[in-house]
Structure 1
Amino acid sequence: MASVRYVVDGAYNLAEVARRLEPHGVVYEPEPGRLRLVPDDPTYPETFLGSDGVVEMRLDPSAGQRVDEFVGDLSSWLGLDLTPVASR
């Protein structure tokens, strides 16, 4: 499964992030300092958010995911801009 990474332009608190994302899907804390969002909309990718400001989206090519729209919505939900991380 492919993934894309972004960084948030600003700082956030994971507890606040979880509160903001709960209306949009199921939020888990699989390990300290990291949240996992499974969006209610099945066309949005599963996403991991780290306390370091890195956002990783897991892409499923067979699912017809709307990544660009999701990035816009996620940015709005967080109140922060997202900047793509260049692939290595």
Structure 2
Amino acid sequence: MEHWDGGDLYEAYMGRWSRQVAREFVSQAFFQSQNGRWLDLGCGTGALTQAVVDVRQPESVVGVDASPGFVRYTRQRVQDSRTQFAVANA
């Protein structure tokens, strides 16, 4: 499973589909952050985090994933001062 840890292979197979769905999901979601802060548990390669940044204009977004490789990958891809990422179990 190590070869999936970096995020590149996941992104090639699954992430590209997640990115297509994430933006639509976030724009149509009925929920709204009351204070502009968002938490993305299981952020993976950052598809949903990026969609929240692009669509909802949040004050901040914290992405959490158990995979250090995915968090490293996401930090490189989602470069917005309103985002932070952490390795942790949800």
Q: Does the TM-score normalized on the shorter chain lie above 0.5?
A: no
TM-score by length of 2: 0.31
Q: 1 or 2, which has the higher strand percentage?
A: 1
Higher relative contact order (CA 8 A, sep 6+): 1
TM-score by length of 1: 0.31
Q: Which of structures 1 and 2 has the bigger CA Rg?
A: 2
Q: 1 or 2, which has the higher helix percentage?
A: 2
